[in-house]
Structure 1
Amino acid sequence: MFSASVDSQLPKAELYQELAVQARALIGGETSRIANAANFSALVFNALPDLNWAGFYFFDGNELVVGPFQGKPACVRIALGKGVCGTAAETRRTQVVRDVHQFEGHIACDSASQSEVVVPLVAADGKLIGVWDVDSPLIARFDDEDAKGMEALCRVFVEAGWSA
C-alpha cells in the first residue's frame, strides 16, 4: 500500500520536488491511464493545501471531457478555447489565473473556486492529451512557482502513460 506524506510547510520548489518523487513511485509501474490519473489526482489534492478541485480533462479529438478528479462534481465537456481549461488546451500554455472572475469566459463549475492553474498535457509525439486542472477557494492561491511545479508533476504523469 502506498502512503503519501508531504510536509506542506516546505518551500514550494521542494514541495513539488517531493510530490514528483511520490508521483513516480505511485504511478511509474502502472499501465492503466485511468488508474494513474485517479491516483495522481488524489495525491495532489491531499498533499497541497487550499485546493477544492484537482483533476483531468482528456481530449477526445473534439473537446475536453472530464476524467478522474478529486472535489465536487465538475463540468463534463469543455470546448477548446473556452474557459481556462479550453484556453490552456488550445494554446498549449499553462494558465495561472489569480482571480477567475477576472478571466473572460471563465466556466464556473464550482462557485467556490476563486483561482486556478491549468497545465496542458502533450504527448511526446506532440498530440494533445488534455489538461491538468487545479482550483482553489482562495484568490491568488497560485503563482509562477506553482505553475512550474505543476508542469514538472505533469511531465511525470505524461511520461508514465503516454511516452510510447
Structure 2
Amino acid sequence: MFHKEEYNGSREQNYDRLIRQLDALLEGETDIIANLSNASSLLRQFLDDVNWVGFYMYKGEQLVLGPFQGLPACVRIPLSKGVCGKAASDRATVRVPNVHEFPGHIACDAASQSEIVIPIVKNEELIGVLDIDSPILDRFDETDQRYLEKFVQHLIAHI
C-alpha cells in the first residue's frame, strides 16, 4: 500500500496524500492499538530524518508508552515532565528545535536533537500524544506542525 516513490509532489501535496492513506488504512477498524500501530508505522516510513515515531497514552495522570517505531523508549512520563508532558498538560502542540535547550527534556534516545509532540484530544478528553523525534536540529517547521496536527485530527476519527 505504501510506496515512498509515490510522494513526488510538493510537501503539502505529499502530506495530503499521507492523510488520505491514513484514512484508507484505518477505514472500518476501531481497535485503538491496531490503528495507532499502523499510524506510527505509516509516519515512520513517510517522514525523513526521524528516529522515533509513536504514541503515549494518557492513563492515571501520566503518559504511558503506546505503539511506536524506533528504539525502546521511556515507559511512563509524568504530565509535569518533558516535551510530551508539556504538550499533554497544555493540550497544545510543542515543537522543539533543540531538545537540549528544553527544560526537563527526557532523553530516551541520545541521538534525538529535535522533537514535535501533538496532543490527541477527542470530545475535550485527553487521549494521549503523538511524539516524533529527529536526530537533526530544527527538523520540524510550521508546515510539519500544520499537517501533523491534521494527521492527528484524522486519526481521532478512527479511535
Q: Same fold judged by TM-score > 0.5?
A: yes
Q: What is the Cα deviation at residue 9 of structure 1?
A: 5.0
The alignment's C-alpha RMSD in Å is 1.1
- In structure 1, stretches of 5+ residues that fail to align are none
Q: State the partner residue of 1:43.
A: 42
Number of residue equivalences: 158
- In structure 2, stretches of 5+ residues that fail to align are none
TM-score norm. by structure 1 comes to 0.93
**Aligned amino acid, residue 157 of structure 1:** L
Q: State the partner residue of 2:139.
A: 141
Q: Distance in 2 between matches of 1:70 and 1:149?
A: 19
Could you tell me the percent identity over the aligned residues?
48
Q: Distance in 2 between matches of 1:136 and 1:28?
A: 29
Q: State the partner residue of 1:65.
A: 64
List, as ranges, runs of 4+ consecutive aligned residues in structure 1 with deviation greater than 3 Å. 6-10
* Aligned residue among 137, 151, 154 for 1:153: 151
Q: Distance in 1 between matches of 2:10 and 2:84?
A: 27
| Per-residue Cα deviation, 1:80-112 (whole angstroms, up to 9, x for no partner) | 131000000000110111110111111000000
Q: Distance in 2 between matches of 1:130 and 1:90?
A: 10
Q: Mapping of 1:112-131 within 5 angstroms?
A: 112-123=111-122, 125-131=123-129
| Per-residue Cα deviation, 1:43-62 (whole angstroms, up to 9, x for no partner) | 00011111100000000131
**Aligned amino acid, residue 119 of structure 2:** P
